[in-house]
Amino acid sequence: MKKCLFLLLLLVSLSMLLASESSPSETVGYYKIGTVQEDGSIIPITPGRFTPVSVPFGLTLKGAWEVFGNQFGYEDNIVDPYNGWGGTYYGEWGWFYNQTEAIDSLMMMPGHIYWIERNSNNESFNFYLTGKVDPQPFTLTMRGQAGGGWTPFALNESVPVSVYNLGIPNLIGDWENNMFDMIVDVTDGSGATYYGEYGWFDALSNNDYMIKPTHAYYFFSNYDDPDEGNLFDSFSWTYTPQAARNVSSQHHINTPIRSRR
């Protein structure tokens, strides 16, 4: 009953959003988040395991309560692998860093990915995200070889974006030393490799590799900064989202399934 009531309220709020005026740079819609299988099908989030997700809306320091509402179950967890921050949900008592330190709200950051763990005592469930995409630029620190090379990232976009439009600096495609930067989608297991002058190649096809809304990604960098003071060979990447575009209402489950300019 509570689930039905929540979905009804979500659809009502969505209808109100759709009825409001939106500027050309804003897209209103909702996303249904589930677990992507090897064959591309989507099933509800499985209890007892972590599921990667990203928030496609242009949110600035907005809390998990505002993003997910009351969809969490007792002792569900969220972890942000970019900074190692996370929290556990204790129902009416709210979010806690640990069992003794309460927090008012677990903050969701643009460009970050999140691993959601559905507690094994809770049933399988799809999470719904609803809101208005009003993209703002974000900056991430990308780690090079000394820092392990891997950096989690996502885009606050309403539609898929070509890997060529990311603008990540210091890309390396070194045939002589067999060093190639990579992007891995941990949501569906796909990926792309950077081959220098030949560009990016999708590991499964020759199509242009697309970065998708709500999917979670890791970027692997071979960057080696000659500055010995740079302990992690790190560099900054700033992404400025493209203007929101019309999105068809007939999309896959992990893309907007209703939107309007």
pLDDT in tens, 212-239: 988 999 999 999 998 888 888 999 999 9
Q: Do 123 and 157 share a domain, yes or no?
A: no
- CA 29 to chain CA mean position, Å: 16
Q: Are residues 102 and 13 in the same domain?
A: yes
Average the pLDDT over 204-219 and give the result.
87
pLDDT tens-digit series, residues 52-63: 988 776 555 567
Helix (H, G, I), strand (E, B) or coil at 116: strand
Same domain, 118 and 21: yes
Distance, in Å, from the CA atom of 62 to the CA atom of 109, rounded to the nearest integer, reads 7
In a domain, 251, yes or no: no
Q: 43 to each of 5, 197, 215, 249, 253, how far by Cα in Å?
A: 22, 39, 15, 20, 10
Of 110, 134, 158, which residue is a domain's last?
134
Same structural domain, 17 and 79: yes
pLDDT at 125: 81
The Cα–Cα gap between 38 and 239 comes to 30
Other beta carbons less than 10 A from residue 249's beta carbon: 11
Query: Among 241, 245, 242, 243, which residue's Cα sits nearest to residue 261?
Result: 245
Is the domain of 153 the same as that of 95? no
Q: Which domain holds residue 171?
A: 138-239
Do 10 and 130 lie in a common domain?
A: yes
Residue 134: predicted pLDDT: 56
- Is residue 66 scored above 80 in pLDDT? no
Q: Which helix (H) or strand (E) holds 234?
A: none
Q: Tell whether 172 and 124 lie within a shared domain.
A: no
Prediction pTM value: 0.78
The rounded distance, in Å, linking the Cα atoms of 237 and 216 is 17
Q: Does residue 118 lie in a domain region?
A: yes
